[in-house]
Amino acid sequence: MASSLTKDPAGTPAAEKTFLGHPRGLANLFMTEMWERYSYYGMRALLVLYLSAEVADGGLGFDAATAIAIYSVYNAMVYLLALPGGWFGDRVWGARKTVAVSGTVIMIGHFLLALPTEVSFFIGLGFIAAGSGLLKANISTMVGHLYRDKNDPRRDGGFTIFYMGINLGAFAAPLTIGWVGQKINWHYGFALAGVGMAIGLAFYLLGFRNLAPESNRVPAPLSDTERATIVKRAMIWLLVAVVAYALVGLSGQFTIDWVLWPLTILGLALPTYYLVRVRRDSDLEPVERSRMSAYVWFFIAAAAFWAIYDQTGSTLTLFAKDSTAGSLFGFDFPSSWFQSLNPLYVMALAPVFAWLWVALSRRGKEPSTLSKFATGLVLIGGSFFVMMLAQTASSGGVKVTPLWLCSVYLIQTVGELTLSPVGLSLTTKLAPAKYASQMMGVWFLAVTAGSSVISLLQLVGAPTDTEWWFASQGAIAMAGGVAIFMFRRKVQPLMGGVH
């Protein structure tokens, strides 16, 4: 821990504690996000496996396509709800209070999953999705609040450190929660995820004094009239949904598809609508509108990236269980452990990338953000061409070596490090002042759009256990990366001086 002499707002000298050269509050946000990600990724490591496991083995017994669709819709809703989560931070509670409430809701959700009933399981998923949405946009925005200058050279490095906390939790989760769930009891694993969220919440509440004062402010509080109107509309839509699903249920026609189809369509339509709405807001300054035009390019690139990347918890998890040997060099392990590979690679490589960007910047050779995004897309596409080869090698029921998935995750990680931390930071830079927290929600809508595409493909019957599945998506991603690189010089001027 280091400290430097600075001045407080009143102008008197004060010792400013730092964390790895960054504001001290980064440490508290780091720990909160680490434990929240531990709970999320631990549960995610078990989700498709539990959904597709036979009832006799304690699972829910869904077929693979339905399990992948449920997972994809759930993942889409987690990130979709980051949008109202950002809205709550901007208009109702402020970022700091919103994160405190969301952590509590997530913790309750995980403990509901631990109850051995199907109804409580799906209610718990809803709680976790809602809580995660509230937390995601606001905690990332609070990291941005720690740096008063949007062009602070420490800013990208701070988000990279924060990103390492995410991956530390994600690394430990499958090794512990995954092992307990697969080897002992599914619901014990879900309960362990709840314990992890409780620890993260404690770290957050104890670190309030280290956070930026801005995080406790409501940037654009609702008027009484606005509040009454919103509550009225919400109650009307809730009543419509209750009546519609009650009629379907009473008719005896209700299946899981009645939930999956509407949510999938919502996950595709809402991101499009919201981007257009923000871009056309008449309150925006010309430079803010220009930056939003540039942001659309980054959003599309990110959506294509996450569509492939987030299959680690669905199609790749099932490939690990059904088509990959569960031992390496004489050591046996459960299939959920493969999901620790990506965060392990991130922790090893993130410091290298953080150093690399700074070193290249000093020499005037750092790639533009568009070039980094293009590289990420090409790499994620390339990883699915490797999966195509792995799928071919597993034909006829052959169990392939774990090194296939080890290679795929390594390629995806390098692509992730060129796109995700940079995208988080860039969003806070390009965000119009009116939509500060909400723009972090828009960034997460890219995951919603990508996961919704995968859900749609499952609902229409696209097979995931074929070479075509991997090759087609890999080709689209790589083509997108090349296109973005070719048009990068036309987008850069739209960014209004943000680099």
pLDDT computed for residue 497 by the predictor: 59
pLDDT computed for residue 495 by the predictor: 66
pLDDT computed for residue 16 by the predictor: 60
Per residue in 464-480, pLDDT tens? 989 999 999 999 999 98
Per residue in 370-407, pLDDT tens? 788 889 999 999 999 999 999 999 988 889 999 999 99
* Confidence tier at 150 by pLDDT (50, 70, 90): low
Using alpha carbons, select from 74, 349, 127, 104 the residue that is nearest to residue 202. 104
pLDDT computed for residue 493 by the predictor: 64
Identify the bridge partners of residue 23 per DSSP, sorted by sequence position: 18
Mean pLDDT of 419-448: 79
Per residue in 177-201, pLDDT tens? 999 999 999 999 999 999 999 999 9
Mean pLDDT of 242-269: 90
Residues with Cβ within 8 Å of residue 400, at least 6 apart in sequence: 323, 324, 325, 390, 393, 394
Using alpha carbons, select from 49, 55, 61, 77 the residue that is nearest to residue 455. 77
Is residue 142 pLDDT above 90, yes or no? Answer: no
Per residue in 10-43, pLDDT tens? 333 344 667 667 777 788 888 999 999 999 999 9
Asked if 59 and 51 count as a contact pair (C-beta separation under 8 A), the reply is yes
The model carries a pTM of: 0.86
pLDDT computed for residue 4 by the predictor: 42
Tell me the pairing of strands 327-328 and 13-19. unpaired
Is residue 5 pLDDT above 80, yes or no? Answer: no
**Using only C-alpha atoms, what is the Rg of the chain?**
22
**CA gap 16, 475 in Å, rounded:** 50
Using alpha carbons, select from 412, 416, 405, 437 the residue that is nearest to residue 338. 405
